[in-house]
Amino acid sequence: SRIGSTHISLVVNGLCPHYKVDCIGTEAATLSAHLTAISIVPELIISAGTAGGFTSANATIGDVYLSHQKVCFHDRRIPIDGFKEYGIGSYPCIDSTPIAQALCLKQGIISSGSSLDCTPKDLEVMRSYNAQVKEMEAAAIARVAQLHGISFLAIKSITDLIDHARPTEEVFLENLHHASQILAQKTLDVLHFISYP
């Protein structure tokens, strides 16, 4: 489809044929992003999805964040010189400040991992680079975008709060529909902003 003269392609990871659930996480995201990069050759890849936030960073359920400065991994622990930094990564994103200001969205460093929950070590790693959003795909997609020389932006709607006492899966499921509705509208707003600067 198009917004103005901008061609928009929606790419999803699909369903797992074996387990009959959505394909989530870094592996599915990497494959989809790579196939998108080589078949569509976009100017910009946007990772839109839901995520966890932090009450300590003033996040609330339904807040929408744009990636800011970089995206990283928090659960690729490789305690060997050079590989430690490789494991965490630091993948660039476009300057989202004009979009955030125009659309009244929050910005933050986004961190990706392969688990819905969060270990104390994950928290330690995320704090080391001041992550404000935790999710399961953005860093993998940003890494592929970087390899292909494609610009990257993430849009994440908060479903749960990492530093809260309730179990993550319970809060996530409770808020998924609401956060997804907000995400859909804000993603359209961002697409219109990009298409009609």
Quickly tell me which residue has 């600067």 as its tokens.
197
Stretch (H or E) spanning 177: helix 168-195
Q: By the 8 A CB rule, do 93 and 154 touch?
A: yes
Q: How many CB atoms lie within 10 A of CB 92?
A: 14
- pLDDT tens column, 87-144: 999 999 999 999 999 999 999 999 999 999 999 999 999 999 999 999 999 999 999 9
- pLDDT tens column, 164-196: 888 999 999 999 999 999 999 999 999 999 998
Among the listed residues 96, 98, 99, 78, the one whose alpha carbon sits nearest the alpha carbon of residue 87: 78
Q: By the 8 A CB rule, do 73 and 139 touch?
A: yes
Q: What is the pLDDT of residue 197?
A: 66
What average pLDDT is seen over the chain? 96
pLDDT band for position 5 (cuts 50, 70, 90): confident
